Structure 1
């Protein structure tokens, strides 16, 4: 199974840091955010990784190369202008499914988490039955208190909470997706949210509640906080 890192955004909330550096190459804990992700992917036995890029993407390719030093094989999906999440994934589908794989893992290039990615790598056919997507969800952080989707007691996600479904959780940007989720879509700019909501309406999106560490590194303040956290964690 292949993995994809989403790295095409301009990182506007990170300015001025991202005026000259793409957000995934910003450092925390002594190395770029994307390198932490690559190391975690290697430990989870994801060997082939596709990275999409647009803004300052040549810096990403120059820094990471073909992936040898991470023990990975890296492939790049070049967008020119950002296609947003759904468009970027559709553009990269030929790379993600080249070996006949129907499932692939997608992770945002601007997050940090201790979620065990092997949980997605090792999911069985029965666990994925009648499912087009599995999203990793987290408790709502202070900057996103209202959450994104509801996770019910059967492990399914919905856009609205009804009855005993409880409160919404926040999508971490880590997911396992099936190629059929994008049937009929073209590689034009488009968001992933509407695609997921359509699948949720058919009961075809599952969720995993991660209760460990997850950081959406969306602002300079959060980047500094993550850097401090990682420095403290060092032996």
Structure 2
């Protein structure tokens, strides 16, 4: 029996992250802190855990910021390469754009991850299912599918009794199934070369439906494990909280019993309280009687005495004045909130903007 080569992986990390503004005004969304580490560290660690030895990062927006943070991959025992997408090519085009950085073995397995999905699913199990095939036939593409209670907000992916994907159905008030695309795919290496090069292609709307129509074997790997699209400030806060509290399993960091992850360089007053799955990054200052719950305070943020911050993101260098109240708020880099100011739920404050009472 021929020994199978180790799987490779591609992380699609070229998006602008407009839904996460103002947090993404100065950095790619994939490097935002989730649970105390840049988001991509969760994905790289999970790929390494599944036996991947080579990862290609498909970058575009703020591409020069990735390597200084992630390096060459040696921290995780993998080789990490970077491929720049000069012009936005869509999800399918981005995958095709990195083909030259992958090995040429046509039967190799290439794991594709959307760079903004936090998942606890059995990636090794999906890979084994992909390699097992169906009735002696090789699988061309495997899609991780999750079952949701209400699928109306999602495109649906029905499968038959053998797990073969039958169709890709757009959002509907009457979904044909509760199975939805969860953003992790495994391609047979030669299938990637069938995507048109240097062309804007959507893997969800064009590549997958086209493969099914052509009779290729596309299967679903259905699981109900933790997953979250970390595409909005609220989702980022929730994902970070889940990592800290252990709800979202990740090999990148351990859950903490204290209910908060606080960087050793942060200064937290003895009368301040920090909990609810909060993350306090390097050089943050939290003054007397401040209350922080379920929030992410990024590097260098300053929180005034008596301020209350709940389920919010405070960007790098931002300042929150004494007795200010933030609930489900998002502050960009170097934003300033004056003393006793209360922000409406869901409010976003741009980088460098000041709000006074």
> What is the TM-score when the length of structure 2 is the normalising length?
0.60
Q: Deviations for 1:143-202, whole angstroms, at most 9, x for unmatched residues?
A: 9634331122220112257xxx95142111101112343426113221112110011222
1:171 to 157, 167, 181: 181
Q: Is the 8 A contact 1:103 1:179 kept in 2?
A: yes
Q: Is the 8 A contact 1:156 1:207 kept in 2?
A: yes
Structure-2 separation of matches of 1:145 and 1:151? 19
The higher relative CO (CA closer than 8 Å, separation ≥ 6) is in 1
* Greater displacement, 63-72 / 98-107: 98-107
Q: Deviations for 1:28-69, whole angstroms, at most 9, x for unmatched residues?
A: 111111001111111111010000100001111221111111
Residue 187 in structure 1 maps to residue 187 in structure 2:
no
Give the structure with the larger helix fraction: 1
Task: Quote the RMSD (CA, aligned, Å).
Answer: 2.3
In the other structure, the counterpart of 1:30 is: 36
Structure-2 separation of matches of 1:26 and 1:69? 19
Structure-to-structure mapping, 1:93-172, within 5 angstroms: 93-98=99-104, 102-123=108-129, 124-127=131-134, 129-140=137-148, 145-159=153-167, 167-172=177-182
User: For the structure 1 residues 126 and 82, does the alpha-carbon distance in structure 2 shift closer, same or farther, using more than 3 Å as the test?
Assistant: same
Structure-1 separation of matches of 2:236 and 2:151? 14
1:200 to 200, 212, 220: 212
Structure-2 separation of matches of 1:73 and 1:101? 20
Structure-2 separation of matches of 1:218 and 1:178? 28
Residue 77 in structure 1 maps to residue 83 in structure 2:
yes
Structure-1 separation of matches of 2:178 and 2:32? 30
Q: Is the 8 A contact 1:133 1:178 kept in 2?
A: yes
In the other structure, the counterpart of 2:98 is: 92
Structure 1: stretches of 5+ with no match in the other structure: none
Aligned length: 232
Structure-2 separation of matches of 1:136 and 1:204? 15
Q: Is the 8 A contact 1:140 1:147 kept in 2?
A: no
* Greater displacement, 178-187 / 201-210: 178-187
* Greater displacement, 213-222 / 128-137: 128-137
Give, in angstroms, the shift of residue 6 of structure 1.
0.7
User: For the structure 1 residues 97 and 141, does the alpha-carbon distance in structure 2 shift closer, same or farther, using more than 3 Å as the test?
Assistant: farther
1:44 to 43, 50, 57: 50
User: For the structure 1 residues 45 and 169, does the alpha-carbon distance in structure 2 shift closer, same or farther, using more than 3 Å as the test?
Assistant: same
2:24 to 5, 18, 21: 18
Give, in angstroms, the shift of residue 203 of structure 1.
5.3
User: For the structure 1 residues 168 and 96, does the alpha-carbon distance in structure 2 shift closer, same or farther, using more than 3 Å as the test?
Assistant: farther
> What is the TM-score when the length of structure 1 is the normalising length?
0.90
